[in-house]
Structure 1
Amino acid sequence: MNLPEPTSRLHQPTRRALLVAGVAALSGCASTTSLLQADAAAGASQTGAWQAVTFPGKALTTYRRDVKDGVPAWRAEAHQSASMWRHRVSLEPGQFDVVRFSWWVDRLVPGAALDEAGRTDSPARLVFAFAGDDARLSMRNRMLFDLAESLGQERPPYATLVYAWSNDLPVGTAVVHPRSDRVRKIVIESGDAHLRSWRQHERRLSDDFQQLFGEAPGPLVGVALMTDSDNLEASALTWYGPVEVPGQAGSQGLSIF
């Protein structure tokens, strides 16, 4: 998501409005609407842990349970929209390492560029949120996080790691959010060669976090799916399979679906 660029030439009320919008976009937690888009046929017992995470002024991507090529999946359909579908978790460091997941992407978002403000749409993202010691944040990040809370929003996670599909960036490219270094993406799919087929991924989450942030991860507190096409006013269609986090150090692990 893109944050507005502040400028000293704006009047103070306008600057505040832009900053507020920026915090909302940065946090990814402007508003959480529990079960807002759950498929009614799935039943409350199946979807109770999922929440729609919305962004101010943005249409919502639709997430619903489906079966794709025989695989149980969440179908994500974006039409000039952006929102996340989040599952809260609670795993301490040492209780997680490997993560396994899959996705099926129908098409790229024409003109999208993960590393260029205003063009950061992506058909597929898997988002991991981590807690941590906020005292280690930069002054700018602490101010942004405090402002989010003062406006009645959720406090952004200490760190957010995103696995993403890019139009053209090489696999392995790391992208830092243009407004906060607490959100970092790593490209794990690129281009159109593997569209319209199930793609299986296994990542060492702790290693990727260490590589991107230069420190060990704190507790894992959230996992989210995100398909968006709002910046370029386009459409996107993706299916996400279950997310598996095998247990470590005697922990039970997670299967998120």
Structure 2
Amino acid sequence: MKTRLSPIALLLFSILAWSGEVPPPFSSLPPGQALPKEFRIVTLPKIARNNFSLVADEGKTVLRVDSDNSAGSLDIPLTAPASDAAGGGKAVLEWRWKVNRMLDKADMEDKLDDDHSARVYVFFDVPLESLSFADRSKIKLARLVAGVEVPTAALCYVWDNKYRIGYKTWSPYTHRLRKIVLQSGPAHVGQWMTESRDVYADFRDAFGFDAPAVTSIAVGNDSDNTNERVTTWFGDISFRK
């Protein structure tokens, strides 16, 4: 039976805005050790949790995320200033990722099959008072239920199974989350792929105004809707100044 996630659950899954310390790069950590306190695992209520571990791969320590009919993200407290404060410049986010397979039944535009082999969230500090009354009400309710801050806008870079590279769409749950396909299909399964994105430009394209501050990054995968399994690896993730 498929898991039906509500918009509130999706927002809970994307919780950030916590006072975290600057995280060490994965490659600086010994494989097998517990994740340092600078990272935080974010889960969904009543959904099995992904397994997160530090492992060695090609001589470097990387993050491994195993999803088995489960979901979850690792919140990474990486920040960037508002784009206008940076003189309208760039905020280039760089990372490496790898997957062991595609999710056969996933469809990121369908609530019932909205799963991802790999995804990277970027969260922005959009002022709540700048949103419509309806959006403000939804976010206030989500924050009341969660007991913590919930983001007002986010980008989600995905490794998809069917939509073409460069395809952009809103989350089927909320138009406060823009998805962008960076890798698609099985051509590069099992290979490390390197990504570089100007998140300011992607935010402006999605929301129509200059990007506010980046408050956090989150990486992970999910297979709870499709009842499948997938393993994803993430190398170091950072902003290039």
TM range (shorter): 0.7 to 0.9
Change (3 A) 1:97 1:52: same
Deviation (angstroms), 1:49? 1.1
Residue 120 (structure 1) aligned to one of 75, 99, 114? 114
Q: Is the 8 A contact 2:12 2:150 kept in 1?
A: yes
Deviation (angstroms), 1:133? 1.4
Q: Is the 8 A contact 1:24 1:30 kept in 2?
A: no
1:83 is aligned to 2:72: yes
1:218 is aligned to 2:212: yes
**What whole-Å deviation, never above 9, does each CA across 1:193-250 have from its counterpart, x for those lacking one?**
0100000111111111111121111111111112110001110101000012022xxx
Question: 1:40-189 counterparts in 2 under 5 A?
Answer: 41-42=32-33, 47-94=36-83, 97-189=91-183
1:14 aligns to what? none
- Which segments of 5 or more consecutive residues in structure 2 lack a partner in the other structure? 21-29
Q: Secondary structure of the equivalent of 1:148?
A: helix
Counterpart Cα distance in 2 of 1:73 and 1:204:
23
Deviation (angstroms), 1:106? 0.4
Of 87-96 and 136-145, more deviation after overlay is shown by 87-96
Change (3 A) 1:29 1:114: closer
1:18 aligns to what? none
Deviation (angstroms), 1:40? 9.4
Counterpart Cα distance in 1 of 2:165 and 2:39:
29
Q: Secondary structure of the equivalent of 1:211?
A: helix
Q: Is the 8 A contact 2:12 2:146 kept in 1?
A: no
Q: Is the 8 A contact 1:3 1:25 kept in 2?
A: no
Q: Is the 8 A contact 1:130 1:219 kept in 2?
A: yes
Q: Is the 8 A contact 1:3 1:179 kept in 2?
A: no
Deviation (angstroms), 1:84? 0.7
Counterpart Cα distance in 2 of 1:198 and 1:29:
25
Deviation (angstroms), 1:29? 4.5
Counterpart Cα distance in 1 of 2:4 and 2:214:
25
Query: CA-atom RMSD, angstroms?
Result: 2.4
Counterpart Cα distance in 1 of 2:177 and 2:146:
21
Runs of 4+ that moved beyond 6 A: none
TM-score scaled to structure 1, two decimals?
A: 0.80
Q: Secondary structure of the equivalent of 2:77?
A: strand
Counterpart Cα distance in 2 of 1:126 and 1:152:
22
Report 1 or 2 for greater relative contact order, CA contacts < 8 Å, sequence distance ≥ 6: 2
Counterpart Cα distance in 2 of 1:214 and 1:50:
31
- Which segments of 5 or more consecutive residues in structure 1 lack a partner in the other structure? 5-20, 248-257
Q: Secondary structure of the equivalent of 1:58?
A: coil
Identity of aligned residues (%): 25
Q: Secondary structure of the equivalent of 1:224?
A: strand
1:228 is aligned to 2:222: yes
Amino acid at match of 2:33: A
**What whole-Å deviation, never above 9, does each CA across 1:18-59 have from its counterpart, x for those lacking one?**
xxx531323425699x9xxxx99535xx61110011111100
Q: Is the 8 A contact 2:124 2:211 kept in 1?
A: yes
Amino acid at match of 2:170: V
Of 120-129 and 131-140, more deviation after overlay is shown by 131-140
Q: Is the 8 A contact 2:7 2:174 kept in 1?
A: no
TM-score scaled to structure 2, two decimals?
A: 0.85
Deviation (angstroms), 1:137? 1.4
Q: Secondary structure of the equivalent of 2:196?
A: strand
Q: Secondary structure of the equivalent of 1:47?
A: coil
